[in-house]
Structure 1
Amino acid sequence: MYMRLYYLRGFENFMLDIAQEDPRLDKLIDMVLDYNIRRIRKWLELGVEMMGFGDDLGTQKGLPISPRHFRKYLKPCYAEMFGLCQDEGVLVYLHSDGHILEIVEDLVEAGVTIINPQVRPNTLKGLAEKAKGKVCINLDLDRQLFPFATPSQIRDHIREAIDVLGDDKGGLMLHAECEPDVPLENISAICDALEEWCGPWMS
């Protein structure tokens, strides 16, 4: 939703639209929302069990728009889109790059059941405060760490994520994305750690 809007307007123009609360923005939002709703209904007709959405709502340091503007312009759209899925018993999976801590609770209220946030801009502590126990977390482990850390440091990173966000009731998945510059020994360390700790949550 958010990304399509700034693809259509251009990022700078869209930021100005938001900041100035341009009344023409409402029409564009309605057009994009209508398109998304029609696509969602097509997928629901196929009997899917989970619907995946991707919108990079944050930057490395914060939200590009204020939480107030998010709640005014975007949250109602997500609530309508995700509500269609919930009405059919379909899980809602949302990926977002960047820092999104200030709106995590809004996303959960809108209907997100699984959220895929990045650990570096949000921190484990921040995600524990805002998301743990409220939504299933599919944590995007620190891909900026993987190329430069030692295998031992990578194991420590994964173990810390489990210790901070894990719960014996569940609600935590770990996602490790490796670019071509990640050494093979580090990829092996990631796989070994995930395999070692993939069972029931360990205290």
Structure 2
Amino acid sequence: MPKETMTPKERWEAVLKRQKPDRLPMDYWATAEANEKLMKYLNCSSQEELYKKLHIDKPIGVGPAYIGPKLEKDTDMYGCRYRNIEYNGGVYAECVYHPLAQYETVEEIERNYVWPTVDWFDYSVIPSQIKGKEEYPVQGGGSEPFLIYKNLRGQEQAFIDLILHPDIVEYCLDKLFDFCYENTLRIYEQIPGKVTFSYVAEDMGAETDLMYSPDQIRRFLLPRMKRMIDLAHEAGVYVFHHNDGAIRKIIPDLIGIGIDILNPVQWRCNGMDREGLKRDFGDKLIFHGGVDNQYTLAFGSVEEVKNEVIENIRILGADGGYIIAPCHNIQSISPPENIVAMYETGYEYGWM
């Protein structure tokens, strides 16, 4: 086995700059339950031990501390209330109260709702979060406002609003993006030059097609996302764009506003075949993800996992433009043997 010559940060940066890394970086996303099972399986007492054992180049996430008004139990700063919903092997917190659902006009929202502010946060804690971890890439700042909007209005109403209440959508997204912009700016100011990438995300795709029309995406999301992307690039920060599902028809638009990294590459969805993505967009995007967790990691054999990782490296990793990772959070149903196989295969075959 070759010897590593780069730190995780250097490895990520080499791929992002389209330089040659010693090997392809590997990232890790998992639910708490899946993570607990894996740590027990590998007899690891800490996340750091887990990452080292599997050669994972996990970025350090940074963010401010909340010091704002006291929050009610199971309620976030937006007033959305959550309840834990059990599923096979784990728990997800689902939004069950939508504080803006009752309003029919922008004026009603303005009269009755208080928007969170960055002044509710202490940013001075951020430098300490990377102290002693200088060998790792840093993720900080970014946005995913339509996800918050769906919780504020309720998912069904949020989709209806795109057609019947576009003024409410515009008003709320402006408020949400303004918060994200100022939050991101303050993070950059605390650790200038040290943030590797920011997470500018929106889920636009379902299994077979986009969840919204391209015109709606171009009206409501792309211009506001571009403002976030421009802020990142002005600070020398790369843009990590998360977008689930069958999104191929909007990828050229996303490239046009400046995304750098595309995640999660759910190649089993319509139009998302790896060969086509690499052929058409490989010179413009770094791919992150690609290891399927709907079938392969959850229900496939160890051999199927190995073969998929090797195929991803061959296709998406040609010329180094790939970060090995699962297609979203590994679920608790995934056997630890499959997870280990993913990272051991990535380590064995990912040398450049």
Q: Would you call these one fold, judging by a TM-score over 0.5?
A: yes
The answer for the alignment partner of 2:315 in structure 1 is 164
Contact (CA 8 Å) 2:290, 2:312: kept in 1 or not? no
Unaligned runs of 5+ in 2: 1-144
SS class of match (1:120): coil
Contact (CA 8 Å) 1:137, 1:172: kept in 2 or not? yes
Provide the rounded CA distance (Å) in 2 between the counterparts of 1:102 and 1:31.
Answer: 28
For normalisation by structure 1, the TM-score amounts to 0.88
Instruction: Report the CA distance between 1:57 and its aligned residue.
Output: 2.3
Trace 1:137-148 onto structure 2 (pairs within 5 A).
Answer: 137-144=287-294, 145-148=296-299
Tell whether 2:343 aligns with 1:199.
no
The answer for the alignment partner of 2:285 in structure 1 is 135
Provide the rounded CA distance (Å) in 2 between the counterparts of 1:101 and 1:189.
Answer: 29
Contact (CA 8 Å) 1:124, 1:164: kept in 2 or not? yes
Instruction: Report the CA distance between 1:100 and its aligned residue.
Output: 1.6
SS class of match (2:239): strand
Instruction: Report the CA distance between 1:37 and its aligned residue.
Output: 1.2
Question: Which residue, 208, 219, 227 being the options, matches 1:61?
Answer: 208
Q: How many residues align?
A: 199
1:83-103 deviations in Å (ceiling 9; x for gaps): 011111111112222222121
Larger-gyration structure (1/2): 2
Question: Which residue, 155, 164, 167 being the options, matches 1:11?
Answer: 155
Contact (CA 8 Å) 1:94, 1:116: kept in 2 or not? yes
Provide the rounded CA distance (Å) in 2 between the counterparts of 1:24 and 1:148.
Answer: 43
Trace 1:93-108 onto structure 2 (pairs within 5 A).
Answer: 93-108=240-255
| One-letter amino acid of the structure 2 residue matched with residue 88 of structure 1 | A
Contact (CA 8 Å) 2:200, 2:229: kept in 1 or not? no
Unaligned runs of 5+ in 1: none
Instruction: Report the CA distance between 1:126 and its aligned residue.
Output: 4.4
1:152-189 deviations in Å (ceiling 9; x for gaps): 21122112222222222x21111035333222332332
SS class of match (1:137): strand
The answer for the alignment partner of 2:222 in structure 1 is 75
For normalisation by structure 2, the TM-score amounts to 0.53
Instruction: Report the CA distance between 1:28 and its aligned residue.
Output: 1.7
Segment drifting more, 93-102 vs 81-90: 93-102
Higher fraction of helix: 1
Distance 1:15 1:21, change over 3 A: same
1:33-77 deviations in Å (ceiling 9; x for gaps): 211111111112122232123432222222110111101110000
Segment drifting more, 77-86 vs 175-184: 175-184
Q: Give the ranges of 4+ consecutive aligned residues of structure 1 lying more than 6 Å apart after TM superposition.
A: none
| One-letter amino acid of the structure 2 residue matched with residue 148 of structure 1 | F
Contact (CA 8 Å) 1:104, 1:130: kept in 2 or not? no
The answer for the alignment partner of 1:120 in structure 2 is 268
Instruction: Report the CA distance between 1:137 and its aligned residue.
Output: 0.7
Segment drifting more, 171-180 vs 34-43: 171-180
Provide the rounded CA distance (Å) in 2 between the counterparts of 1:140 and 1:188.
Answer: 16
Provide the rounded CA distance (Å) in 2 between the counterparts of 1:107 and 1:6.
Answer: 21
Instruction: Report the CA distance between 1:24 and its aligned residue.
Output: 3.2
| One-letter amino acid of the structure 2 residue matched with residue 65 of structure 1 | Y
Segment drifting more, 86-95 vs 122-131: 122-131
1:107-140 deviations in Å (ceiling 9; x for gaps): 2222211121233323324432553221111124
Provide the rounded CA distance (Å) in 2 between the counterparts of 1:130 and 1:73.
Answer: 26
The answer for the alignment partner of 2:330 in structure 1 is 178
Instruction: Report the CA distance between 1:198 and its aligned residue.
Output: 1.8
Provide the rounded CA distance (Å) in 2 between the counterparts of 1:190 and 1:22.
Answer: 44
| One-letter amino acid of the structure 1 residue matched with residue 274 of structure 2 | L
